[in-house]
Amino acid sequence: MNKLMLSSALLCGSALAMTGCQTIQDQLQTGNPLNQPALKSKIETVGEDKKEVGQLFLRPVEGGVQVYGKLMNMQPGKTVALHIHETGSCAMGGQAAGSHFNPDNFPHSSPDDVRGHAGDLPNLTANEDGVATINYVNNQISTDVVGKYSVNRLAFIVHANADDYTTQPSGNSGDRIACGIITKA
Ligand SMILES: [Cu+2]
């Protein structure tokens, strides 16, 4: 089943494969009731007011863990960094979340680099309505409740600026502006 879906996805560019393409696109939609997330996180601003900015979800898929969801009330057009940090706390303006989740002690890198931080994720760009979506498969993390690669009880951090995927240890992505603890869905 999963293998079939994967081959459909690979054929997405072909008109003949539109049906298969639609299928995997549907599978990747946020909130598909047939594919409940394993983990979820309510993302809130790190200030005193703790305004909710959105929700992110994680679930195991072929090839890794799908991280998906959307953030709202972002600065329109702005590109910002999103990471999974190693400690499940949003206290002290998000500083309590600690460093990037990095169970294999790799340098910070682009999210697709398997020798980078497990918690590295792609930058998000808000549209003109201030909405930013993510739909990304991370192959270095697990949705298991516990374990070396488990992200349960860790935290998402949204930064003020984009991640350059190069600067150590956090891509020169600036202040922490929003945070969410990852919990069982
Ligand atoms: Cu970060």
Ligand 1 centroid, distance to 146 Cα (angstroms): 22
Regarding whether 75 and 1 lie in a shared domain, the answer is: no
**Residues 145-169: b if buried by 16+ CB within 10 A, e if exposed:** eeeebbbbebbbbbbebbbebeeee
- Residues with Cβ < 8 Å from 150, sequence gap 6 or more? 141, 142, 143, 144
Regarding whether 150 and 91 lie in a shared domain, the answer is: yes
Query: Distance between CA atoms of 70 and 62, rounded to whole angstroms?
Result: 22
Ligand 1 centroid, distance to 173 Cα (angstroms): 7
Regarding whether 118 and 88 lie in a shared domain, the answer is: yes
Ligand 1 centroid, distance to 128 Cα (angstroms): 24
Predicted model pTM? 0.82
Q: Answer yes or no: are the C-beta atoms of 53 and 158 closer than 8 Å.
A: yes
Regarding whether 21 and 75 lie in a shared domain, the answer is: no
Q: Answer yes or no: are the C-beta atoms of 111 and 138 closer than 8 Å.
A: yes
pLDDT at 36: 84
Regarding whether 14 and 85 lie in a shared domain, the answer is: no
Ligand 1 centroid, distance to 34 Cα (angstroms): 31
Ligand 1 centroid, distance to 80 Cα (angstroms): 10
Ligand 1 centroid, distance to 161 Cα (angstroms): 10
Query: Distance between CA atoms of 130 and 62, rounded to whole angstroms?
Result: 31
Regarding whether 6 and 79 lie in a shared domain, the answer is: no
Ligand 1 centroid, distance to 122 Cα (angstroms): 11
- Max intra-chain CA distance, the chain: 53
Regarding whether 164 and 134 lie in a shared domain, the answer is: yes
73: CATH? 2.60.40.200
pLDDT digits (tens, 9 = 90+) for 39-92: 999 999 998 889 999 999 999 998 999 999 999 999 999 999 999 999 999 999
Regarding whether 96 and 80 lie in a shared domain, the answer is: yes
Regarding whether 155 and 125 lie in a shared domain, the answer is: yes
In angstroms, what CA-CA distances link 99 with 52, 165, 177? 22, 15, 15
pLDDT at 1: 36
34 pLDDT tier (thresholds 50, 70, 90): low
pLDDT at 29: 53
Ligand 1 centroid, distance to 5 Cα (angstroms): 32
Number of H helices, E strands in the chain: 2, 9
Q: How many domains does the chain have?
A: 2
- Residues with Cβ < 8 Å from 113, sequence gap 6 or more? 120
pLDDT at 100: 98
Regarding whether 45 and 127 lie in a shared domain, the answer is: yes
Ligand 1 centroid, distance to 14 Cα (angstroms): 37
Which residue range is the domain that position 77 belongs to? 36-184
Looking at the chain, the whole-number percentage of residues with pLDDT higher than 70 is 81
Regarding whether 92 and 172 lie in a shared domain, the answer is: yes
Ligand 1 centroid, distance to 160 Cα (angstroms): 10
Residues, Cβ < 5 Å to ion ligand 1: 83, 157
Regarding whether 78 and 20 lie in a shared domain, the answer is: no
Q: What are 13's two structure tokens?
A: 């560019």
Residue 151 identity (one-letter amino acid): V
Q: Which of 151, 178, 164 is nearest to 67 (CA)?
A: 151
Ligand 1 centroid, distance to 164 Cα (angstroms): 12
pLDDT digits (tens, 9 = 90+) for 97-141: 999 999 999 999 999 999 999 999 999 999 999 999 999 999 999
